[in-house]
C-alpha cells in the first residue's frame, strides 16, 4: 500500500486535516515523540510507549515506514536487532510535536490535569 492509498481523500480543504491523517490517532504521535531523540530498538520503543500492544506497535510502525516517516534497520548477527528512526521527512514533523508538547506543558494545570513528564 502506498502513502497515497493510506491517506484519504485525494484533496484536502484544510492543512490540519491532512496533517492529522498522517500523524493522527492514539499511537502515532507517541511513537514519533519517542523517536525524536534518535533511533530505538523495537523493545525499547515498546517499553517507552506505555499501553501499546506488540501487535498494534508493529502495525503502526509498518504504516509509518510505508509513509516514509520512519526507516527500519535490521542488523543480523548473533542476535537480530530491529531499529526504527525518523527519516528526513519524519524529522520535519519534530516542530509540530514540539509545539504540541509546549502547549500541553503550558496549559495542563488550567485543565486540572497532571503532567508527569521527564525530558
Topology, domain 3-107: Arc Repressor Mutant, subunit A (1.10.10)
Confidence of residue 1 (pLDDT cuts 50, 70, 90): very low
Residue 2's pLDDT is: 46
Q: Across residues 20-29, what is the average pLDDT?
A: 92
Domain ranges in the chain are 3-107
Confidence of residue 4 (pLDDT cuts 50, 70, 90): very low
- Distance between CA atoms of 37 and 32, rounded to whole angstroms? 10
Residue 3's pLDDT is: 47
Question: Which backbone phi and psi does 80 adopt, to 5 degrees?
Answer: -75, 130
Nearest to 49 by CA among 63, 38, 35, 37: 35
Residue 119's pLDDT is: 62
Please, what is the Cα angle at 46 between 42 and 51, to 5 degrees?
A: 160
Residue 10's pLDDT is: 77
- Distance between CA atoms of 40 and 113, rounded to whole angstroms? 29
Residues 80, 17: contact at Cβ < 8 Å?
no
Higher local confidence (pLDDT), 1 or 6 = 6
Rounded to two decimals, the pTM is 0.85
Per-residue pLDDT reduced to its tens digit, 40-94: 999 999 999 999 999 999 999 999 999 999 999 999 989 889 999 999 999 999 9
Question: Which backbone phi and psi does 92 adopt, to 5 degrees?
Answer: -65, -15
Amino acid at each position: 500500500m502506498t502513502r497515497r492509498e493510506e491517506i484519504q481523500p485525494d484533496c484536502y480543504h484544510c492543512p490540519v486535516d491532512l496533517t492529522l491523517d498522517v500523524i493522527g490517532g492514539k499511537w502515532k504521535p507517541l511513537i514519533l515523540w519517542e523517536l525524536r531523540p534518535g533511533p530505538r530498538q523495537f523493545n525499547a520503543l515498546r517499553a517507552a510507549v506505555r499501553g501499546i500492544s506488540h501487535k498494534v506497535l508493529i502495525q503502526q510502525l509498518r504504516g509509518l515506514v510505508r509513509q516514509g516517516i520512519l526507516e527500519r534497520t535490521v542488523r543480523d548477527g548473533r542476535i537480530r536487532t530491529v531499529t526504527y528512526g525518523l527519516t528526513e521527512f519524519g524529522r520535519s514533523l519534530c516542530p509540530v510535536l514540539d509545539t504540541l508538547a509546549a502547549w500541553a506543558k503550558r496549559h495542563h494545570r488550567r485543565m486540572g490535569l497532571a503532567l508527569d513528564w521527564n525530558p
